[in-house]
Every structure is written in C-alpha cells, then in structure tokens.
Amino acid sequence: MRRISIFGATGSVGESAFDLLMRAGGAEAYHTVALTGGRNIARLAEMARALRAEIALTAYPELLPELRAALAGSGVEAAAGTEAIAEAGARPSDWALSAIVGAAGLRPGLEVIKRGGLLALANKETLVAAGQLVRDSAAASGARILPVDSEHSAIYQLVDGEKLESVEAITITASGGAFRDWPLEKLASASVAEASCHPNWSMGQRITIDSASMFNKALEVIEAREFFMIAPERVKVLIHPQSIIHAMVSFRDGGSVAHLGMPDMRHAIGYALNWPERRDLPVARLDLAELGGLSFRAPDEIRWPALRLAREVMAAGGAAGAVFNAAKEQALDDFLAGHIGFTGMAEVVEETLSRASALPGFGESPRDIEAVMGWDGEARRLAAAGREG
Ligand code: NAD
Ligand code: MG
C-alpha cells in the first residue's frame, strides 16, 4: 500500500485531497502516515479516523488534550506543535502533500525533501522563500517535487518530455480576483469581506485575498521561476477571467500549448497523487461550446503593484523572496485585523523590501532553514514597524 501524509489536511487543498483519497478507497487503498491541522480538531480527528492514520497533529499545543479526547479508542496517535509537525515530515512516506498555508509549511516540506521523499507541493511559499535551499536539498537527497498549484501543475504537464531550452516563455493566467473590475479609487476602502470572494475558485481565505491583491500571482511568478529555473522575463501573467486556461508554454519555434480544465483543485492534486499515471478524477469535464468564449487582457500594474514587486524580488534574488513572502503575510494579518487598508498591503511590502535590502547579507540566498526563518522574522518586524509609523 502506498504510504501518504498530508500537511494541512483540514484546509481547502487538504479537504480536496481527502476527498480524492476517500473516493479512491480510503484506508483500504492507502496507508496514511500523518495528517496535520490547526484549530479544527473535530475535523482533523474525523479525517484521521476515516483514513486510520498513524498520527494526527495539531499546530497548537494547547489543543492536544482536545485532540487526544477526539481520537480516544481509535488507535491514532496524537501530537501537537510546530516541532512535532516538522518531525512528522521526516517519517517515511511514498507521497506527502504540503498544504499548510504560509511560511509555516516550510519545515515539514523540507523534511520530506531532506529524506529524499516525493513532495506534492501546494505551499507556494516554500519555493518563494527558500527556492535555492529547496533545489540544493532535493539535488542532494534525490527528492522529487511535483507542483500542485494549478498553474504550475499545468506547466509541468505541458513541458513533460520537452527540453527547457526550447521554451521561450511560460504564461500563467490570473482570474483578476474580486476587484478585477472595480474602479481604482474604490480599492483603498475595500473590506475584508469584499476581498474574500473569488469569482471562480473556492480556496482558503488568505489565498483568496491574495488573489484580489494579485499577491498570489506575484508569488506564483516567483514560484514558476524557482521551480522551472526559467529567466524571470520569460514568465508572463495574463488576465483570463474564466480560469479555464491555467497556463501556456510557448516554444522557440513559435508554437504554444495550453492546459485547460474547469477550475477545480482536485485535478492538480489528483495529477500529483497518481503521477506518473493518469487516472479518472471526479472533476467536471470541459464543454467549450457551452462556455462559448474565453477572454484575455493584459495585467494592470497600477491596479496590482504586487506584480511589479515580484519582478523586483526576482531581480534582487538572495533573501528577497523570504522577505517578500513574510512581509506579505504580515501585511495580510494587518489587513485582516483592520490595521491597514487593502492598498496598504502593497505599500507595506514595498517599504519592507526596501528597508531589508539595506541589511547585510540580503544579496545572499539563505543557506539553511534557520537563515530563511531569520529573514522571515526580520521582515515581519520591519513590516509591523512600518505600519506603526
Ligand atoms: P487553508 O487556509 O484552507 O488551510 C491551511 C491549512 O494549514 C489548514 O489545515 C490549517 O489548519 C493549517 N495551518 C494554518 N496555519 C498553520 C500553522 N501555523 N502551522 C501548521 N498548520 C497551519 O489554505 P489553502 O487554501 O488550502 O492553501 C494551502 C496552501 O496551498 C497555501 O500555501 C496556498 O497558497 C496553496 N494553494 C492553495 C490553493 C487552493 O485552491 N486553496 C491553490 C493553489 C495553492
Ligand atoms: Mg494557483
């Protein structure tokens, strides 16, 4: 039986993965090693019982008694805390899904990579904050990483069997998020509730707001550069309101191939789960005649300064990715808490990048997880201080 682990099982991506596993036979078909979650203990315990996991872990130590109680009599071990979650990454498995949101997803994923495992990577923050470290560790251990972000899964499927030097450009699409058609002057006063609606995808709240601000696409541009090692200027963004084309690869001979599908994360997760095979997946089939048309437009860098910042981060290299990601996470926390407005997020991130770039060592890629987390903490401090004045 294939041994699997899910980091962030109770989230949006984690739930989709759980759905696929249950449809494919659940505990009869897969041996589940570890499942991790956050505050939703009841759901975590329910999933761990259904999949007969070896261990279930919550990020929060104060919730361990509740988790133990919820798992009583099930035979599933309970554990808690950041350290325990990272250690669970080191437990042998044949397939591990990294679907924790934010920089908190870095350590368990890196543990999987260090032991030479197969990592299905939804946590885009990993490659943004620690791209060089991830590549070096994977090269040393022989780990394989399969992208689960829909655009990157699409690119992975498109470049399969092609030489990367034949690729002229990679285009990832963006729906444009909640504020694609809002008047620019209204953006500054956009509320959390308004930013938390996505036109096409159902996702966690943080990535949904990042889609409205285009920080999600900014992270994805960097993720594409780090994953495929393609020059930054060859990674392009295209606004495509219907989210049917996920990515397109253009070759040096003038041909382009695109990946299409209904917006449902179970395709990208299932592709990584079944790789290198393709199996039936319960996603709605595409009917282009029914859709009638697809539309496209160029991204607007005034509306979405995050895209310009992504270019600056790629040009700077070194610790810029770790700083960018952490500053964005802090700015998002501050927006959610009502401390800053929607457009204030990009201002905080830009200011933080500028301040961090004056610090010693900024130009060097972080060599280990401690260095990555050092920049992460520094960026959060700078971002919070910048907000206060
Ligand atoms: P989510 O908020 O729905 O779920 C996040 C999961 O991480 C939950 O299980 C939560 O308990 C856990 N978690 C949160 N904070 C944690 C912490 N500090 N320590 C340990 N665990 C913690 O998020 P999501 O939308 O499923 O996204 C997960 C990741 O996948 C993100 O990196 C996101 O960018 C990426 N992603 C998501 C989608 C999507 O459709 N939702 C698509 C592409 C990529
Ligand atoms: Mg995506």
Task: Assess: ipTM above 0.95.
Answer: yes
Task: Specify whether the CB–CB gap between 378 and 323 falls below 8 A.
Answer: yes
* Residue found under tokens 């036109």: 199
Atom of ligand 1 nearest to the CA of 8: 9
* Residue found under tokens 């090693």: 33
pLDDT of residue 164: 86
Which ligand number lies closest to the CA of residue 198? 1
- CB of 14 shorter than 6 A to ligand 1: yes
- CB of 27 shorter than 6 A to ligand 1: no
pLDDT of residue 193: 96
pLDDT of residue 51: 98
- CB of 201 shorter than 6 A to ligand 1: yes
Which residue among 12, 173, 330 is best mutated to probe the pocket of ligand 1, counting the most ligand atoms within 8 A of its Cβ?
12
- CB of 265 shorter than 6 A to ligand 1: yes
Element (H, E) at 247: strand 245-251
Centre of ligand 1 to C-alpha 266, Å, is 15
Which ligand number lies closest to the CA of residue 174? 2
Rounded Cα distance between 368 and 134, Å, is 9
Which ligand number lies closest to the CA of residue 154? 2
- Phi/psi at 249 (5° precision): -115, 125
- Phi/psi at 366 (5° precision): -60, 130
Which residue among 110, 111, 203 is best mutated to probe the pocket of ligand 1, counting the most ligand atoms within 8 A of its Cβ?
203
The domains found in the chain, sorted by start residue, are: 2-147 (3.40.50.720), 150-260+286-302 (no CATH), 317-384 (1.10.1740.10)
User: Could you list the pLDDT tens digit for every one of the 389 residues in the chain?
Assistant: 999 999 999 999 999 999 999 999 999 999 999 999 999 999 999 999 999 999 999 999 999 999 999 999 999 999 999 999 999 999 999 999 999 999 999 999 999 999 999 999 999 999 999 999 999 999 999 999 999 999 999 999 999 878 889 999 999 999 999 999 999 999 999 999 999 999 888 999 999 999 999 999 999 999 999 999 999 999 999 999 999 999 999 999 999 999 999 999 999 999 999 999 999 999 999 999 999 999 999 999 899 999 999 999 999 999 999 999 999 999 999 999 999 999 999 999 999 999 999 999 999 999 999 999 999 999 999 999 987 76
* Residues of the binding site: 10-13, 38-40, 123-125, 149-151, 175, 198, 204, 211, 216-217, 220
Centre of ligand 2 to C-alpha 385, Å, is 30
* Residue found under tokens 């992270």: 219
* Residue found under tokens 């959390």: 192
Atom of ligand 1 nearest to the CA of 206: 2
Q: Where are the beta strands (DSSP E) in 73-149?
A: 77-80, 95-98, 118-121, 144-147
pLDDT of residue 301: 87
pLDDT of residue 389: 61
pLDDT of residue 160: 84
Tokens linked to 23: 């449809």
- CB of 243 shorter than 6 A to ligand 1: no
pLDDT of residue 364: 98
